[in-house]
Amino acid sequence: MPRYLIPIGGNEKKSPNSTMFQEMVALAGGSKARIVVVPTASETPGERARDYQALFSALNPESVQILHIGERSDAGSVELCRIVGETTLFMFAGGDQLRLSSLIGGTPLHRALLERYQTGGCVVAGTSAGAAVIPELMIFQNNRFRLFRKGGIEMTKGLGLIQDTIFDTHFVQRSRISRLVNAIATNPALLGLGIEEDTGLLIENETTARVIGAGTVIVVDGSAIQINHIGYTENRHPFALTNVVYSLLTPGVVYDLKRRTVIDAGPIAPPKSIVPKRGRRRKKTSD
């Protein structure tokens, strides 16, 4: 069975009319989808739980359950692991990704999720911090005054559902290009994917990624780097880096994560229905 990951750049429109959420639920079984939402990363998990409960319920799945994980012991619950073992869509809400990795990483629930995903049993999605925690490595903090300086970011292990790839979210809105370049400089084997708000990637079998939603995904590819002085540079000092390759992917574009190339250029222009309208800015969310 195919495996699907759906990282979202945050601040997505929580509407049953969203094609992004419609596709997510369809992949999870449509009317037979069994959905689990984990709001642990949020500062207001109860409010976030209500938002997603209402959203997913409006899409008419078989069930929607909320898993509240406030301590690591919660992630050792036999009952919660059973629920994860039966889910067809597992969704991490946004907030602080360190809450997710520190409370879930290495627990029975983490192992149950990995097993369920690896056998193709469930779609795993996450928004903002919930997307950042999906790969093997994640950015969890940065000092904005030391970006493009050695030591300008901090990284740790994520949940390991995909290797050699790192996600950054709110990418355009928070001008995060410099911190993703920092991450790639530490090891150019990593492929950086910067995801704009209200935008996602539909990743199949950790190999191909199709842009969904309303915005752009920026690829930061360090495989052609020729000069990289980060290893010789003192902390807080700038470092030389050349031949970083950037790609801008719009909705419908399909990218090969292994070969690092576009395999389907998608439509020349996005449908009018997904072009964002000018208007009042939505409330800023956390990472």
Question: Which residues are part of the catalytic machinery?
Answer: 128, 170, 197
Say if CB 211 and CB 252 are below 8 A apart. Answer: yes
Say if CB 124 and CB 151 are below 8 A apart. Answer: no
Strands 89-92 and 123-127: parallel
Backbone angles phi, psi at 20, to 5 degrees: -65, -45
Say if CB 139 and CB 106 are below 8 A apart. Answer: no
Structure-token pair, residue 115 = 């097993």
Say if CB 219 and CB 133 are below 8 A apart. Answer: no
> What would the DSSP string read from start to end of 82-100?
HHHHH-SEEEE-SS-HHHH
Say if CB 92 and CB 287 are below 8 A apart. Answer: no
Residues 6+ apart with CB under 8 A from 259: none
What's the CA gap between 56 and 75, in Å, rounded? 23
Region label for 277, one of left (φ > 0), alpha (ψ between -120 and 50) or beta (otherwise):
beta
Give the chain's largest Cα–Cα span.
56
What's the CA gap between 51 and 14, in Å, rounded? 8
**Torsion (CA) 256, 259, 264, 265 in degrees, nearest 10:** 100
Structure-token pair, residue 230 = 């980060």
